[in-house]
């Protein structure tokens, strides 16, 4: 089973401290909700877990299902990340985006797999439309497809329901439960009451 071990994690931007000594272990199958007021470091915490930011102090260690430490390559292959600061290529369709990122991740080209994923997320009839022509909600679904590509063992979702309608929010809830049931470690940064209910554990950031 995959696990994320966070020890005494801290992050400061210039002189402003955002995270101070956060320690937690997130096991596969868990759904951790990270909550806190604006500026408390929820997004920063997820960005560090995703390998996008280097912490100022402390460590993040990944344990892979075979008991090894997760390397950078492993992290790229098996981590799914969705956040408001993530943008896909607007001049490409959702399918073209997935095909490119699959090749970059080393998953190889598999059009049926990518079409199937987009279909389950409600983009089946807009597969070939450039993202720039899609609504904000449909773009959010395309970003979710990016996060779910390759069936990640670690799923990091920052305000996943933003810009989504009721159906989209239900889709997020189903996805979160489904991935945790399959053994993935799911971390959600949110203050949305409905998304808070998805967690089996809560991390409060002051």
Partner 1 sequence: MAILAKDIRSEVRTRAALNAIVLFSVVTLAVVSYATGSFGLSPEVHASLIWIIVFFAAMAGLSRTFVVEAERGTEVALKLTASGTQVFLGKFLFNLVLLGLLDLVLIPLFQILLPIREANWGLLGIGLGLGSLALAASTTLVAAIVAQAGVKGALFTVLSFPILIPVLVAGVSSTRKAMDLAPWADAVTEIQLLVSYAGIMLTLSFFLFDSVWRD
CB of 101 to partner 1, least distance (A): 5
91 binds partner 1 (CB under 8 A): yes
Query: Rounded to whole angstroms, what are the CA distances from 119 to 116, 122, 141, 161, 182?
Result: 5, 5, 10, 18, 20
H or E segment to which residue 57 belongs: strand 57-63
Query: What is the distance between the alpha carbons of residues 145 and 127, in angstroms, rounded to a whole number?
Result: 12
Of 73, 170, 178, 181, which lies in the binding site for partner 1, with binding defined by CB under 8 A?
73
H or E segment to which residue 24 belongs: strand 16-27
Of 15, 67, 72, 125, which lies in the binding site for partner 1, with binding defined by CB under 8 A?
72
Gyration radius from the chain CA atoms? 17
90 binds partner 1 (CB under 8 A): yes
Taking alpha carbons only, the member of 145, 5, 19, 137 closest to residue 82 is 145
What is the token pair recorded at 137?
């909600």
Site string for partner 1, 38-67 (x = CB under 8 A): ------------xxxxx-------------
CB of 89 to partner 1, least distance (A): 6
* Closer Cβ to partner 1, 100 or 122, answer by number: 100
* Closer Cβ to partner 1, 87 or 110, answer by number: 87
76 binds partner 1 (CB under 8 A): yes
Site residues (CB under 8 A) for partner 1?
50-54, 72-73, 76, 79, 81, 83, 85-92, 96, 100-101, 103-105, 146
């Amino acid at each position: 089973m995959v696990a994320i071990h966070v020890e005494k994690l801290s992050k400061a931007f210039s002189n402003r401290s955002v995270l101070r000594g956060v320690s937690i272990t997130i096991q596969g199958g868990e759904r951790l909700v990270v909550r806190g007021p604006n500026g408390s470091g929820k997004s920063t915490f997820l960005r560090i877990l995703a390998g996008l930011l280097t912490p100022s102090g402390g460590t993040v260690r990944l344990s892979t299902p075979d008991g090894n430490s997760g390397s950078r390559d492993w992290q790229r292959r098996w981590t799914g990340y969705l956040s408001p600061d993530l943008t896909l290529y607007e001049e490409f369709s959702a399918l073209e985006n997935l095909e490119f990122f699959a090749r970059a991740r080393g998953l190889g080209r598999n059009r049926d797999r990518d079409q199937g994923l987009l279909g389950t997320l409600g983009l089946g009839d807009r597969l070939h439309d450039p993202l720039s022509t899609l609504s904000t909600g449909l773009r959010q679904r395309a970003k979710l497809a990016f996060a779910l590509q390759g069936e990640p063992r670690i799923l990091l979702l920052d305000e996943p329901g933003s810009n989504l309608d009721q159906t989209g929010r239900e889709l997020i809830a189903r996805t979160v439960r489904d991935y945790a049931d399959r053994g993935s470690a799911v971390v959600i940064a949110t203050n949305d009451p409905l998304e808070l209910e998805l967690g089996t554990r809560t991390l409060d950031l002051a």
